[in-house]
């Protein structure tokens, strides 16, 4: 079993990935749903961090200084990934995150954690990308600190159209010069269903992808 299959089965075992009929925020009827908030044990958290760390080293490499987790789900993901990068791979990196609302007392500001120096290369760590909203909201904050942000890692790339007919991945690259990497994509989920002989669900996935997905 390859790493993508392992991750898909890991998500299924945790109830994070479900197949069926779900209405998305955009009002689309989706044949699958991903809720990373359902990772709820220490064991699952450890494994999740390991999957992210391995994906970063595979797709992005080790030439970066810090991990940034957008509030809220990205906060724990950045911490877990940083821990796994150190424990499993011996790569020691800073992690930090933002608040939804800036704090005007104590250390103040929008960020929490020890901030990297100006010019640091920062990787954004998120759960799922559909339209790239998290990047559009947080990138200006990071750029204002003088950080170089060229990469983003997510667990699932839904491969759906963004604000145009292009995919969110294409839009992020063209608009912000950010490369999007994912542990798995919607295409990987479809391939998994086909391989497991789940023909009815695979057909629903294909119909959805033909309508809403790019690439």
Enumerate the domain spans of the chain: 3-212
Q: Which of residues 28 and 108 earns the better pLDDT score?
A: 28
Q: Summarize the confidence of residues 164-192 as an average pLDDT.
A: 90
> Residues near 45 by Cβ (< 8 Å), separated by ≥ 6?
39, 76, 80
Q: Summarize the confidence of residues 146-168 as an average pLDDT.
A: 88
Return the pLDDT at 179. 94
| Percent share of the chain, pLDDT over 70 | 92
Q: Summarize the confidence of residues 113-141 as an average pLDDT.
A: 86
Nearest CA-CA partner of 71 in 98, 35, 34, 94: 98
Active site residue 105: yes
Active site residue 89: no
> Residues near 64 by Cβ (< 8 Å), separated by ≥ 6?
93, 121, 122, 123, 151
| Percent share of the chain, pLDDT over 90 | 69
Q: Summarize the confidence of residues 171-198 as an average pLDDT.
A: 94
Candidate from 99-113, 120-134, 192-206 with smallest mean pLDDT: 99-113
Return the pLDDT at 131. 60
Of 22-26, 40-44, 209-213, give the range with the top mean pLDDT.
40-44
- Which residue in the block uniquely carries the two structure tokens 């925020």? 25
Nearest CA-CA partner of 91 in 124, 44, 58: 58
Q: How does residue 108 score in pLDDT terms, banded at 50, 70 and 90? A: very low
Return the pLDDT at 16. 97
Looking at the predicted structure, is the pLDDT value of residue 106 above 80? no
Structurally, at CATH architecture level, domain 3-212 sits in 3-Layer(aba) Sandwich (3.40)
Looking at the predicted structure, is the pLDDT value of residue 98 above 70? yes
Mean pLDDT of the chain: 90
Looking at the predicted structure, is the pLDDT value of residue 102 above 70? no
User: Which of the residues 103, 166, 196, 206 is marked catalytic?
Assistant: 103
User: Which of the residues 25, 100, 105, 114 is marked catalytic?
Assistant: 105
């Amino acid at each position: 079993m390859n790493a993508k299959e392992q991750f898909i089965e890991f998500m299924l075992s945790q109830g994070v990935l479900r197949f069926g009929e779900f209405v998305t925020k955009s009002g689309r009827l989706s044949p699958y749903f991903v809720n990373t908030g359902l990772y709820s044990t220490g064991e699952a958290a450890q494994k999740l961090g390991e999957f992210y760390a391995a994906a970063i080293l595979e797709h992005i490499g080790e030439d970066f200084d810090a991990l940034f987790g957008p509030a809220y789900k990205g906060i724990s993901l950045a911490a877990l990934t940083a821990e796994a990068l150190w424990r499993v791979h011996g790569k020691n990196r800073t992690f930090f995150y933002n608040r939804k609302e800036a704090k005007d007392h104590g250390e103040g500001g929008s960020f929490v954690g020890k901030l990297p120096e100006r010019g640091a290369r920062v990787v954004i760590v998120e759960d799922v990308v559909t339209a790239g909203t998290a990047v559009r909201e947080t990138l200006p904050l990071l750029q204002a600190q003088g950080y170089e942000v060229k990469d983003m890692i997510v667990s699932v790339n839904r491969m759906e159209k963004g604000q145009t007919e292009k995919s969110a991945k294409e839009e992020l690259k063209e608009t912000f010069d950010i490369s999007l990497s994912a542990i798995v994509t919607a295409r990987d989920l479809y391939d998994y269903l086909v391989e497991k002989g789940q023909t009815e669900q695979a057909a629903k996935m294909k119909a959805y992808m033909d309508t809403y997905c790019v690439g």
